[in-house]
Amino acid sequence: ETGVTQSPTHLIKTRGQQVTLRCSSQSGHNTVSWYQQALGQGPQFIFQYYREEENGRGNFPPRFSGLQFPNYSSELNVNALELDDSALYLCASSLGAGRGSSPLHFGNGTRLTVT
Amino acid sequence: GENVEQHPSTLSVQEGDSAVIKCTYSDSASNYFPWYKQELGKGPQLIIDIRSNVGEKKDQRIAVTLNKTAKHFSLHITETQPEDSAVYFCAASIEGNEKLTFGTGTRLTIIP
Protein backbone atom coordinates (compact mmCIF):
# COMPACT_ATOMS: atom_id res chain seq x y z
CA GLU A 1 0.00 0.00 0.00
CA THR A 2 1.53 3.31 -1.12
CA GLY A 3 1.17 6.14 1.37
CA VAL A 4 0.59 9.84 0.72
CA THR A 5 3.51 11.40 -1.13
CA GLN A 6 4.19 15.11 -1.50
CA SER A 7 6.60 17.07 -3.67
CA PRO A 8 8.79 18.94 -3.38
CA THR A 9 9.94 18.41 0.20
CA HIS A 10 11.40 21.90 0.52
CA LEU A 11 10.90 25.09 -1.45
CA ILE A 12 12.16 28.65 -1.20
CA LYS A 13 10.24 31.42 -2.93
CA THR A 14 10.29 35.20 -2.99
CA ARG A 15 7.40 37.37 -1.82
CA GLY A 16 4.95 37.99 -4.68
CA GLN A 17 5.80 34.79 -6.53
CA GLN A 18 3.47 31.84 -7.16
CA VAL A 19 3.97 28.24 -6.03
CA THR A 20 2.46 24.85 -6.85
CA LEU A 21 2.66 21.94 -4.42
CA ARG A 22 1.77 18.37 -5.39
CA CYS A 23 0.25 15.41 -3.62
CA SER A 24 -0.42 11.80 -4.53
CA SER A 25 -3.10 10.23 -2.40
CA GLN A 26 -2.88 6.85 -0.73
CA SER A 27 -4.01 3.95 -2.88
CA GLY A 28 -7.80 3.58 -2.78
CA HIS A 29 -8.40 7.06 -1.34
CA ASN A 30 -10.48 9.52 -3.34
CA THR A 31 -10.54 12.54 -1.04
CA VAL A 32 -7.65 14.93 -0.53
CA SER A 33 -7.38 17.66 2.10
CA TRP A 34 -4.73 20.34 2.46
CA TYR A 35 -3.54 21.81 5.74
CA GLN A 36 -1.13 24.60 6.62
CA GLN A 37 1.06 24.10 9.70
CA ALA A 38 2.93 27.17 10.95
CA LEU A 39 5.95 26.57 13.16
CA GLY A 40 4.89 25.43 16.63
CA GLN A 41 1.21 25.28 15.72
CA GLY A 42 -1.35 22.65 14.85
CA PRO A 43 -2.35 22.10 11.22
CA GLN A 44 -5.08 24.41 9.89
CA PHE A 45 -7.60 23.23 7.29
CA ILE A 46 -7.24 24.96 3.91
CA PHE A 47 -9.64 23.00 1.70
CA GLN A 48 -10.74 19.53 0.67
CA TYR A 49 -11.28 17.97 -2.75
CA TYR A 50 -13.70 15.15 -3.45
CA ARG A 51 -14.52 13.88 -6.92
CA GLU A 52 -12.42 16.68 -8.43
CA GLU A 53 -14.47 19.43 -6.79
CA GLU A 54 -13.80 21.62 -3.77
CA ASN A 55 -15.73 20.18 -0.85
CA GLY A 56 -15.28 22.71 1.91
CA ARG A 57 -12.81 25.50 2.62
CA GLY A 58 -11.22 26.91 5.72
CA ASN A 59 -10.44 30.54 6.49
CA PHE A 60 -7.92 31.12 3.69
CA PRO A 61 -8.02 33.82 0.97
CA PRO A 62 -8.81 33.06 -2.69
CA ARG A 63 -5.13 33.22 -3.64
CA PHE A 64 -5.01 29.70 -2.18
CA SER A 65 -6.51 27.41 -4.81
CA GLY A 66 -6.40 23.76 -5.68
CA LEU A 67 -7.12 21.03 -8.14
CA GLN A 68 -7.86 17.34 -7.98
CA PHE A 69 -7.19 15.10 -10.95
CA PRO A 70 -9.05 11.97 -12.13
CA ASN A 71 -6.40 9.78 -10.48
CA TYR A 72 -7.18 11.61 -7.18
CA SER A 73 -3.83 13.35 -7.00
CA SER A 74 -4.00 17.02 -6.12
CA GLU A 75 -2.25 20.37 -6.39
CA LEU A 76 -2.22 23.34 -4.08
CA ASN A 77 -1.50 26.70 -5.71
CA VAL A 78 -0.66 29.86 -3.84
CA ASN A 79 -0.46 33.18 -5.70
CA ALA A 80 1.12 36.45 -4.59
CA LEU A 81 3.13 34.80 -1.82
CA GLU A 82 3.43 36.63 1.49
CA LEU A 83 6.01 36.16 4.23
CA ASP A 84 3.29 34.66 6.49
CA ASP A 85 2.75 31.86 3.95
CA SER A 86 5.99 30.30 5.20
CA ALA A 87 4.86 27.01 6.72
CA LEU A 88 4.69 23.25 6.34
CA TYR A 89 1.93 22.33 3.88
CA LEU A 90 0.40 18.96 4.57
CA CYS A 91 -1.69 16.84 2.26
CA ALA A 92 -3.99 14.19 3.71
CA SER A 93 -6.02 11.57 1.89
CA SER A 94 -9.03 9.57 3.04
CA LEU A 95 -11.54 7.07 1.76
CA GLY A 96 -14.29 9.53 0.97
CA ALA A 97 -16.13 12.44 2.43
CA GLY A 98 -19.58 11.53 3.65
CA ARG A 99 -18.75 7.85 4.14
CA GLY A 100 -18.36 7.98 7.86
CA SER A 101 -15.30 9.15 9.71
CA SER A 102 -12.56 7.88 7.45
CA PRO A 103 -9.22 8.60 9.13
CA LEU A 104 -6.95 11.10 7.44
CA HIS A 105 -3.55 9.82 6.35
CA PHE A 106 -0.98 12.59 6.07
CA GLY A 107 2.08 12.96 3.89
CA ASN A 108 5.34 14.36 5.26
CA GLY A 109 4.60 17.80 3.88
CA THR A 110 6.30 20.49 1.82
CA ARG A 111 8.28 23.06 3.79
CA LEU A 112 7.73 26.43 2.05
CA THR A 113 9.92 29.38 2.95
CA VAL A 114 9.00 32.81 1.58
CA THR A 115 11.75 35.44 1.69
CA GLY B 1 -16.63 27.39 14.09
CA GLU B 2 -14.95 24.74 16.20
CA ASN B 3 -12.17 25.70 18.62
CA VAL B 4 -9.93 23.07 20.23
CA GLU B 5 -7.69 23.87 23.18
CA GLN B 6 -4.90 21.53 24.26
CA HIS B 7 -2.87 21.33 27.48
CA PRO B 8 -0.09 21.17 28.46
CA SER B 9 2.05 22.59 25.66
CA THR B 10 5.10 20.70 26.95
CA LEU B 11 5.31 17.60 29.11
CA SER B 12 8.36 15.75 30.45
CA VAL B 13 7.88 12.30 31.93
CA GLN B 14 10.26 9.70 33.35
CA GLU B 15 10.49 6.58 31.25
CA GLY B 16 7.97 4.04 32.50
CA ASP B 17 5.62 6.64 33.97
CA SER B 18 2.28 7.71 32.48
CA ALA B 19 1.53 10.82 30.42
CA VAL B 20 -1.83 12.56 30.10
CA ILE B 21 -2.75 15.22 27.55
CA LYS B 22 -6.09 17.03 27.71
CA CYS B 23 -8.21 18.80 25.11
CA THR B 24 -11.46 20.73 25.16
CA TYR B 25 -13.68 21.57 22.22
CA SER B 26 -16.41 24.14 21.69
CA ASP B 27 -18.81 22.77 19.05
CA SER B 28 -21.31 20.34 20.54
CA ALA B 29 -21.92 18.95 17.02
CA SER B 30 -18.39 17.50 16.92
CA ASN B 31 -18.47 13.74 17.32
CA TYR B 32 -15.14 12.41 16.04
CA PHE B 33 -11.91 12.93 17.97
CA PRO B 34 -8.59 11.62 16.60
CA TRP B 35 -5.14 11.92 18.12
CA TYR B 36 -2.03 12.34 15.99
CA LYS B 37 1.66 11.91 16.73
CA GLN B 38 4.13 14.02 14.78
CA GLU B 39 7.83 13.25 14.78
CA LEU B 40 10.46 15.69 13.58
CA GLY B 41 10.39 16.13 9.81
CA LYS B 42 7.31 13.99 9.35
CA GLY B 43 3.60 14.45 8.90
CA PRO B 44 1.08 13.67 11.66
CA GLN B 45 0.36 9.99 12.15
CA LEU B 46 -2.98 8.78 13.54
CA ILE B 47 -2.48 6.84 16.77
CA ILE B 48 -6.03 6.46 18.09
CA ASP B 49 -9.48 7.94 17.60
CA ILE B 50 -12.80 7.92 19.39
CA ARG B 51 -16.36 8.59 18.39
CA SER B 52 -18.98 10.20 20.58
CA ASN B 53 -20.95 7.01 21.09
CA VAL B 54 -18.20 5.60 23.32
CA GLY B 55 -16.58 7.01 26.45
CA GLU B 56 -13.25 5.24 26.34
CA LYS B 57 -11.08 3.38 23.87
CA LYS B 58 -7.84 1.53 24.47
CA ASP B 59 -5.08 0.24 22.21
CA GLN B 60 -2.21 -1.38 24.09
CA ARG B 61 -0.44 1.40 26.03
CA ILE B 62 -2.63 4.17 24.61
CA ALA B 63 -6.14 5.10 25.75
CA VAL B 64 -8.48 7.96 25.03
CA THR B 65 -11.43 9.10 27.15
CA LEU B 66 -14.27 11.37 26.10
CA ASN B 67 -16.69 13.39 28.21
CA LYS B 68 -19.29 14.81 25.83
CA THR B 69 -21.14 16.70 28.54
CA ALA B 70 -18.03 18.60 29.56
CA LYS B 71 -16.71 18.72 25.97
CA HIS B 72 -13.30 17.38 26.80
CA PHE B 73 -11.22 14.37 25.85
CA SER B 74 -7.86 13.07 26.99
CA LEU B 75 -4.99 10.92 25.78
CA HIS B 76 -3.33 8.56 28.24
CA ILE B 77 -0.02 6.85 27.52
CA THR B 78 1.13 4.27 30.05
CA GLU B 79 4.57 2.73 30.54
CA THR B 80 6.14 5.46 28.43
CA GLN B 81 9.17 4.65 26.28
CA PRO B 82 11.79 6.91 24.63
CA GLU B 83 10.14 6.39 21.23
CA ASP B 84 7.01 8.05 22.59
CA SER B 85 8.86 11.39 22.49
CA ALA B 86 7.12 13.52 19.84
CA VAL B 87 4.51 16.25 19.42
CA TYR B 88 0.95 15.06 19.96
CA PHE B 89 -2.12 16.77 18.51
CA CYS B 90 -5.76 16.30 19.36
CA ALA B 91 -8.42 17.17 16.81
CA ALA B 92 -12.17 17.32 16.44
CA SER B 93 -14.61 17.11 13.57
CA ILE B 94 -18.14 16.22 12.64
CA GLU B 95 -18.13 12.58 11.60
CA GLY B 96 -18.22 12.22 7.85
CA ASN B 97 -16.97 15.64 6.82
CA GLU B 98 -13.33 14.84 7.60
CA LYS B 99 -12.39 18.47 8.17
CA LEU B 100 -10.33 18.45 11.31
CA THR B 101 -9.79 21.28 13.77
CA PHE B 102 -6.51 20.66 15.58
CA GLY B 103 -5.26 21.67 18.98
CA THR B 104 -1.96 23.52 19.33
CA GLY B 105 0.04 20.42 20.24
CA THR B 106 1.89 18.96 23.21
CA ARG B 107 5.62 18.30 23.02
CA LEU B 108 6.15 15.10 25.04
CA THR B 109 9.68 14.27 26.17
CA ILE B 110 10.44 10.92 27.78
CA ILE B 111 13.40 11.12 30.13
CA PRO B 112 15.45 7.88 30.15
ω into residue A8 within 30 of 0, thus cis?
yes
A interface residues, B as partner, C-beta within 8 Å: 4, 31, 33, 35, 40-45, 48, 56, 58, 90, 92, 94, 97-109
Binary contact (A104, B34; C-beta < 8 A): yes
pLDDT digits (tens, 9 = 90+) for A14-23: 999 999 999 9
Q: For residue B25, what are the contacts with CB-CB under 8 A and spacing of at least 6?
A: B2, B3, B4, B5, B33, B71, B72, B73, B92, B101
pLDDT digits (tens, 9 = 90+) for B41-94: 999 999 999 988 788 999 999 999 999 999 999 999 999 999 999 999 999 998
Which residue ranges in chain A fall short of pLDDT 50?
none
> Across all residues in chain B, what is the average pLDDT?
94
The pLDDT confidence band at residue B106, using thresholds 50, 70 and 90, is very high
Q: Is B53 or B101 the better-scoring residue by pLDDT?
A: B101
pLDDT digits (tens, 9 = 90+) for B28-46: 999 999 999 999 999 999 9
Which positions in chain B touch A40 (Cβ < 8 Å)?
104-105
- Mutate which of B25, B98, B100, B102 to disrupt the A interface (most A C-beta within 10 Å)? B98
What is the SS3 assignment for A33?
Answer: strand
